[in-house]
Amino acid sequence: MFSPNTSSWFISKVIWWRAAASIAWSVLLLLPTTAVFITLSKFSFLHPIQTISECLSLLMSASSVFSFILLSGVVIMVGFLILEYFTVIPTIACSKIALLGQLLHPRQVISSLAHCLMGMVVGWCCAVTVGQRYETLGYPGKSSDGQPQMYLNEYHLVFLLAGAFVGFSHSLLGVIHNMNYVCFQTVQQYKYLHFKGSLPLVLKCSTIQAFYSVRNFIIVYFFLGYIPKTWICKTLNLHLDSSVHPLDSISGLVDLSLLYHLWINASFLLFTWYITLLLFRIFVTEVYSFPVQSTFTDDSHLCLPKVLADKQPMISKFLALQDLSLLSKHSPLRRSEVFSLSQPGGHPHNWNTVSKECLALLADLTQRLVAYHETVATNGRAKSLSSGSERKSSSETSVTSGTEDLMSPRPTFLMRTPASVFTRSVAGGPHSPLTAPFTPDLDSPFASPVLRRLTAQVDQCSPWHGSVQSPHIMRRVPKLWSTSTESQVSSSSPPSPASVPSPKQEPAKPSFLGQFLQNRKEQLPEASSQALFADSQAHIWALEALSYLVQASFTEDQFGVVQTTLPSILSSMLHLQEAVDRHFKLPHASSKPLRSTNSMEEFTYKTLRFALRATLKTAIYRITTTFGNHLNAVQMSAEHRKRLQQFLEFKE
């Protein structure tokens, strides 16, 4: 489906370099952060000058240099994990059990373990740097009968475990809050200014998150602390010193100095990681300017229309759409290239590709919304489409894994499979049994019955196609969002009406466990709506690009290339408007965005549908105000003309 050179050049030439630059900056920033951390952890009010001299000497010492190298290694590792796991389409769990499935996904477990390990390394570095009583795991002493013995230093152990705990909880929260989702800014700023603006927020988030993590850790350690303690003692042949208080007791844990050090330690850890994440987001989402057309055919795969038409990788498609939307807004020079004709032949290839891609995106969303509405309408409340729960982003990691199944008779929106770490190793082959429960296998316990029903409905040419397009045509539309689909080949349900289970056909006599599972599988209505619009950033850009280009064409389009597509642009926008209106009239779709709290998790994906609704309306108004009554000459259905008239009269 896609040749490797067109898709991978972007990853290797742009994304990798951006990631490398962001990691390099985070390592550079580690130095001042560490200095501040050391000062804070060693600070004493009574001897400020002594503190400073101590800190300076510590910074120069060999052990701190070694710790610093270790910390840099951790930051680099974190950066690589972010690069490996980042996605531009958030994974939204539509039910609690789907969330559990995400957490237990092998790929996720690996990431959690890695974070845990790195947290421990950071904990060790902190313990060594803070020194004093935290420095070593064991200390020599004498037993009661005078024998020299090694005793366990529980403070050191607590530091290590706290680091591991904070790392682990960071990873878990990352999944729950979609921290690997990279969102694009509506307000373009230079990297430095953007970073400077976000720094206070990162600082606030890391200290607050550190507070909660340390609190949770203390609770866990209070109850379960004896397990690692005895295990370490056994394996390393250390002894417990009965003369000191054990730390998994109330009197041992109420130690302000220890708590303060734990908190500073956790803040430092989270701050460095958040900074890495922030820098990565800033660098990756930076605008990349694609050439609209090139003079040499060798470079044609670098051009905007070509990249837009590529399905993979997602990030390049998103960046191309962002660039398209910006060029349509800001640069008349590049717009003129879009409107230009090909030199021999005189075909508007650029415009055709661009408009076709954007329209396909809009049609895809319309179709998805209509299908969703159909499912919801049958049983009133939202027991709905769960494709989103299993929808994994097609991040660039899955580039090598895909053999596209062209003949798959699925609607495009069902073709999202997790880009599993295992499918990568067995590229092209049948997926390993390990990943089976976590792929959107229709027979899996994680897929809701509605999904199956929906699939069947689509397959049997259900009546909704009349308002959009025939499914037969839709199948021929390039599958924009699909990734490797080999996991679905095995699981196609027979497309017969008989296989449509009605919602009443749930197990008649549910066992307790079944009931419990059913409750967990209950759709969260808000989440299903979010999942439906998870990739809407692309649609927003497509709408903006189309509307600005059409607006500019009024004066700039010399050859009238836009005129030919104007009817289809208008009709697809109005179709989408209709579908979006219907979606927002559903009882569970809240009409107002939730207030976002200030934290590192990206809230944008939760509000994308509102942004899409506003952008859509503005886009239609942009076209109607530009063309005015000329639009009466455009061919369209009577229904659409009526709707358009409303827009022309500013009554929408």
Partner 1 sequence: MCSLALFPPPLPAGQSTLCESNNELLSGANSSDDRQDSSLLSLYFPRESLKLHSRTESSSKAAFLDHSETLWMRSAAAWRDGGFTGLLNEITTSHAEVPKWLSVTSGCILALLRWVSSFHGSLYPHVTLSSEDLIAEFSQVLNWPDCVVRAFAWHPHADKFAVALLDDSIKIYNPQSAISPTLKHRLQRNVAAVQWKPLCASGLAVACQNCLLVWNVDPCSLSTRPSSGCAQVLSHPGHSPVTSIAWSPSGSLLVSASPLDTAMMVWDVAVESCVPLQRVGGGGVTFLSWSPAGSHILASTPSALFRVWETRMWTCERWPCVKGRCQSGCWSPDGSRLLFAVQGEMVIYALTFSGSPGVPTSMAKGPQTAVVVADLSETTFNSPDGDIIVGGEIQSLSWDPRGERLAVLLKGDPQAANRPAIIAVFKTRANPIFELLPCGFVQGEPGAEPRLMQFHPHFQHGALLTVCWSSGKITHIPFYFLSSGVSHVGLSGSPPKLQPQERPADFANQSLFTELLS
CA geometry: angle 567, 549, 619, nearest 5 deg: 70
Residues of this chain that interact with partner 1 (CB under 8 A) are 185-190, 193, 197, 329-333, 554-555, 592-593, 595-596, 603-604, 607-608, 610-611, 613-615, 617-618, 621-622, 625-629, 648-652
Q: How far is CA 298 from the centre of its chain?
A: 33
CB of 554 to partner 1, least distance (A): 6
Q: Are 241 and 151 in contact (CB under 8 A)?
A: yes
Tell me the Ramachandran region of residue 237: left when phi exceeds 0, alpha when psi lies from -120 to 50, beta otherwise.
left
CB of 331 to partner 1, least distance (A): 5
Q: Are 549 and 369 in contact (CB under 8 A)?
A: no
CA distances, 413 to each of 154, 307, 438, 475 (Å): 53, 21, 17, 11
Q: Which is nearer to partner 1, 509 or 651 (CB)?
A: 651
Q: Which is nearer to partner 1, 78 or 327 (CB)?
A: 327
Q: Which is nearer to partner 1, 511 or 555 (CB)?
A: 555
What is the DSSP code (8-state) at residue 15? I
CB of 575 to partner 1, least distance (A): 20
Q: Which is nearer to partner 1, 188 or 635 (CB)?
A: 188
Q: What are phi and psi of 552, to 5 degrees?
A: -70, -30
CB of 352 to partner 1, least distance (A): 23
Q: Which is nearer to partner 1, 75 or 616 (CB)?
A: 616
DSSP letter for each residue of 198-234: HHHHHHHHHHHHHHHHHHHHHHHHHHHTHHHHHHHHH
Q: Which amino acid is at 236?
A: L
CB of 559 to partner 1, least distance (A): 19
- Residue 181 pairs with which residues in a beta bridge? 87
CA distances, 271 to each of 112, 278, 290 (Å): 18, 10, 34
CB of 619 to partner 1, least distance (A): 9
CB of 194 to partner 1, least distance (A): 9
Q: Which is nearer to partner 1, 582 or 617 (CB)?
A: 617
Q: Which is nearer to partner 1, 298 or 649 (CB)?
A: 649
CB of 90 to partner 1, least distance (A): 14
State the alpha helices, DSSP H only, in 86-153.
96-104, 106-130
Q: Which is nearer to partner 1, 185 or 499 (CB)?
A: 185
- For residues 280 and 97, give the distance between their C-alpha atoms in angstroms, rounded to a whole number: 30
Residue closest to 611 by CA, chosen among 299, 277, 186, 197 = 186
What is the DSSP code (8-state) at residue 13? I
